[in-house]
Amino acid sequence: MANVYYSVGQNSTDHSSGGNVSITSGVATFDTAQVATNLGVGDRLTYGGHIGYLAVKTDTTHWTVVTALGAAVGDHASTTVDSIGHEYTSLSAAEAGASDANHINNTSLVTANVILNIPCYYDSGDDTTVVTVSGYTTGVSNYIKIYTPNNTSTEVNQSQRHAGKTATGVYRRQVGSYEQGIINDQDYTVIQGLIVYGWGSHGINTGSRDNVNVSYNIVYGFSASGGCRGIHAGYSTNVKVYNNIVYSCSQGIGLDYSGTGSLVYNNTVVKNTYGFVQNYGVGSYGTLKNNIASNTTSDYYVTGTGSFFSVTYCASDDATADDWGGAGNRIDQTFTFVNYAGNDFHLASSDAGAKDYGTDLSSIFTDDIDGETRSGTWDIGADEYVAAGETRNLLASIVGASTTPDVAATIARALLSNIGGVSSTPDISSIISRALLANIPGISTTPNISGVISRELLANLATVSTTPGISAAIAHSLLATITSESLTPNVLATLSRSLLANMQGISLTPEISITIARALMANIVAGSYTPDITATMEGIISLIANISAISTTPDIAAITARALMVSIPAQSITANIIASITRNMLANITATSMTPNITAVIENFISLAAAIAGVTFTPDVVASMARSLSSLIVAQSLTPNIVATTARSLLANIQGTTITPDDLIVTLVILGAMVDLNIESKTPKRIIESKKVKYLIHDA
Amino acid sequence: MAKLLLINLATYRPGVNNIGDVVGIFKDGHAFSPAEIAGFDIGDMPALTETEIHDELIKITPSQNTAYRLPEAKKWVFDRPEEKRVWQDQNGVWNELATTPKYPYCLPLKATEIDSAKTADKATAITLLQGKLELNIPKFSENLLAIDDLNSKVEISG
């Protein structure tokens, strides 16, 4: 039995990152990381005139690739990646096309002995085409799975699934008036992780088919008439409906003659005219466990003399949950959701209606609508309250569920006000920051998301607290987390850029800017950087570039530069890096009016020069030079232009790649000579005997 | 300004769909994938919007309903009434809807018609649609069984 994968998006545009690919034993190795957020399982890879389909992700440079029939693709030497794109641009086209000669070439999945996987992606907009799944021959081991990939380790770069509430930026099936979202007329199908919404008749209709799995979906809006259902399971046996959220429908989940084998477990059905409905009023159908129904005309409702087969561990805010007897049912409950008005039906920490009142159903599934493991005494409903999950949900809100700055800022402010208000100790700040960043890998590993969160965190520094202590603690924690999470250099650079961009964008006071800069620098010095040191230094260059762009005040420039200089001696950096840093630093100095602070900068600069030249100047000599330069600036009342010219001259020397130690020393000596021509008594003999020095001294 | 994705020989499945069945309607500018271009006909009608095409579909869409047959009038019983889905043909006759087609509409365009649709003005495109668009429900013989009870005429006596 083989798995075949054909992806669905709203376009088939090439979203590869370019580069080359080689294939060995079915594993594609890309020499350029393939990082598009909507790249994942089922996408068509074209290379060297061949076609393969991404099947299993190892990381962004390694994917298992299979043929249209699910076999391993042949070995291939390195060749250009021509494109990576979705196979279809609508779910209806994928359903109709998967059996054609270019794909399975068979309507019988049993004969072809395959599982048909149709992962659905978000590119832009919603999928608006009507989908009927039918016409295949399926079996228990040869089924059709329509789903949103959400495993960022093995399936996709960024989860394409909702985070337990409706959202944009994920795959959604939008349904037109009186249409149905997905009509399933096929045994053995799985419909998983979709958002299906619209003013249609039914959201997901399992028809009269058996062995259908409908789980992890969010379905809402189906209220065109009184018989419209979010999820409709009719005339079916062995239908599993679990971990779904259904709201704003005429009927939440409707069962029509669904046999006792139809399992309706852990669903949250809210704000519907009717909650769970057994429509045919005769006989006993449907096994309901661990469900929430709330805010309906009748939460659990049957027509005529029929009944549900069994209802246990279900809850209602009216008196209907125990109308059919059964253990563990809870009536007249008050449920507390994270944001009821905003249709976020995650259980709040304060909920007393559903939390820890369910029963263990781990023989069927073990997690909740968010994919979080259910533990302890199960909660009733689609969501299992998990404290860590709250953080994830918050971040999901910041990143995906809500793109409005207001919401993101509100959440971030709440988080940071907690840091400020509950405890200002660095430990607590650090824990919270670490928790925040620890969530980033789970939601997405893309640098963009790191940047988004960082921006939100820093944006709060301005409004929540202006105390340098707290700002510093947060910045420090962020950077500490970066080092411990072994982020890639790209992420580090992105984060640095975000931090600085934030300084620019939110009108931080100079004090806060300085504090952050100091914390950043202190972290750089304290961190035991190894191979990433180059990236770190690149980050410093970005920092400096930003500082010069955002502030012309000498204080900030000088303080930052001083911090940089302090850190440099501790690192085994190359001359090129020093040159780069110095270039940026001096560019900044020349732009400003010099103050006494500059003295310190130049002192450090001389140390730099010594480092570059590799000259074994003793500290005394260096100090002497520094004194000379200092006195030049302070005592001689030179105009800024002359100082700038001098600095530029120095810089020009440093920038030159062919500069010899002697050349550099000569320049310094000449500067010294401008103050005190009696340099022979202060300068090592080796230098004075240099021909060039003699010439210059003579010329002076 | 719309495109229709139509079943062609590559995706034709006897007993499941027909050549020309309308799989989806897309906005102009929608770029179909290589798999879709290979597996479907694409009816490109730049003169018509999605809404205008939907309007034409609605014009031929029949009324549908659920009909119930009571066991015995005005008596309480435990058995649920028998029910059928029904549809009303263009002559106003209610028929049993025994089989719901996978795709409700079919637009079996010839290659020449697909080509001409690309340059047709609005009036020509609508004429083409109205001339070629088919409803799939009546193509199933089991859907042509009239339900007499629903079609009985009221006799008006003198």
Please tell me the predicted confidence (pLDDT) of residue A543.
44
Averaged pLDDT, A56-74: 96
Confidence of residue A399 (pLDDT cuts 50, 70, 90): very low
Confidence of residue A446 (pLDDT cuts 50, 70, 90): very low
**What is the tens place of the pLDDT at every residue in A6-32?**
999 999 999 999 999 999 999 999 999
- Using the Cβ of A32 and the Cβ atoms of chain B, whether some distance falls under 8 Å is answered with no
Please tell me the predicted confidence (pLDDT) of residue A261.
67
Give me the phi and psi of A268, to 5 degrees please.
Answer: -110, 115
Confidence of residue A258 (pLDDT cuts 50, 70, 90): low
Q: Which of B15, B39, B78 sits opposite A100 (nearest CB)?
A: B39
| A271, pLDDT greater than 60 | yes
**What is the tens place of the pLDDT at every residue in A222-256?**
998 888 999 998 777 889 999 999 999 999 999 87
**What is the tens place of the pLDDT at every residue in A273-299?**
999 998 776 677 889 999 999 999 999
Averaged pLDDT, A389-409: 42
In percent, how much of chain A has pLDDT > 70? 54
Q: Which of B17, B31, B103 sits opposite A12 (nearest CB)?
A: B31
- Indicate the average pLDDT of chain A: 69
Q: Which of B25, B30, B33 sits opposite A87 (nearest CB)?
A: B33
| A404, pLDDT greater than 90 | no
- Torsion angle, alpha carbons of A483, A485, A490, A495, to 10: -70
Please tell me the predicted confidence (pLDDT) of residue A580.
43
- Using the Cβ of A690 and the Cβ atoms of chain B, whether some distance falls under 8 Å is answered with no
Digits of tens for pLDDT over chain B (158 positions)?
A: 899 999 999 999 998 999 999 999 998 889 999 999 999 999 999 999 998 999 999 899 999 888 888 777 677 776 667 788 899 999 999 999 999 999 999 999 999 999 999 999 999 999 999 999 999 999 999 999 999 989 975 455 54
| A566, pLDDT greater than 50 | no
Among B47, B57, B73, CA closest to B24: B57
- Using the Cβ of B32 and the Cβ atoms of chain A, whether some distance falls under 8 Å is answered with yes
Confidence of residue A219 (pLDDT cuts 50, 70, 90): very high
Chain A partners within 8 Å of B9 (Cβ):
none
Answer for the pair A93, B23: CB distance below 8 angstroms, yes or no: yes
Please tell me the predicted confidence (pLDDT) of residue A390.
55
Please tell me the least confidently modeled range out of A159-173, A192-206, A416-430, A656-670.
A416-430
Tokens, residue B104: 């409700």
From CA A53, how far away is CA A66, in angstroms rounded? 5
**What is the tens place of the pLDDT at every residue in A339-386?**
899 899 999 989 999 999 999 999 999 999 998 889 899 999 999 997
What ipTM was assigned to the predicted interfaces of this complex? 0.90
Chain A partners within 8 Å of B11 (Cβ):
96-97, 99-100
The count of CB pairs under 8 A between chains A and B is 92
Chain B partners within 8 Å of A129 (Cβ):
5, 23-26
Residues B23, A13: C-beta atoms closer than 8 Å: no
**What is the tens place of the pLDDT at every residue in A95-126?**
999 999 999 999 999 999 999 999 999 999 89
| A137, pLDDT greater than 50 | yes
From CA A275, how far away is CA A291, in angstroms rounded? 10
- In this structure, are strands A245-247 and A268-270 parallel, antiparallel, or unpaired? parallel
Please tell me the predicted confidence (pLDDT) of residue A259.
65
A367 DSSP β-pair partners = A373
Answer for the pair A287, A272: CB distance below 8 angstroms, yes or no: no
- Using the Cβ of A92 and the Cβ atoms of chain B, whether some distance falls under 8 Å is answered with yes
Amino acid at B145: L
- Using the Cβ of B23 and the Cβ atoms of chain A, whether some distance falls under 8 Å is answered with yes
| A538, pLDDT greater than 60 | no
Please tell me the predicted confidence (pLDDT) of residue A648.
42
Q: Long-range contacts for B63-68 (Cβ within 8 Å, ≥24 apart)?
A: B63/B87, B63/B88, B64/B88, B64/B97, B65/B94, B67/B94, B67/B147, B67/B149, B67/B150
Please tell me the predicted confidence (pLDDT) of residue A389.
52
| A545, pLDDT greater than 60 | no
- Using the Cβ of A235 and the Cβ atoms of chain B, whether some distance falls under 8 Å is answered with no
| A401, pLDDT greater than 50 | no
Please tell me the predicted confidence (pLDDT) of residue A106.
96
Please tell me the predicted confidence (pLDDT) of residue A618.
38
Tokens, residue A45: 């890879």
* Residue predicted with more confidence, A679 or A285: A285
Residues B102, A88: C-beta atoms closer than 8 Å: no
| A444, pLDDT greater than 90 | no
Q: Please provide the DSSP assignment of B66-97 as one string.
A: EEEE-SSTT---SSPPEEEEEEE-TTS-EEE-
Please tell me the predicted confidence (pLDDT) of residue A282.
66
Residues A13, B31: C-beta atoms closer than 8 Å: yes
From the CA of A169, how many Å to the nearest CA of chain B? 19
**What is the tens place of the pLDDT at every residue in A464-506?**
333 333 333 444 444 444 333 333 333 333 444 444 444 333 3
A84 to chain B: closest CA residue: B33
Residues B38, A107: C-beta atoms closer than 8 Å: no
From the CA of B7, how many Å to the nearest CA of chain A? 8
Q: Which of A149-153, A524-528, A580-584 shows the highest mean pLDDT? A: A149-153
Please tell me the least confidently modeled range out of A210-219, A608-617, B41-50, B125-134.
A608-617
Residues A90, B26: C-beta atoms closer than 8 Å: yes
- Using the Cβ of A550 and the Cβ atoms of chain B, whether some distance falls under 8 Å is answered with no
Does the predicted model carry a pTM greater than 0.80?
no
Give me the phi and psi of A542, to 5 degrees please.
Answer: -60, -40
Residues B40, A132: C-beta atoms closer than 8 Å: no
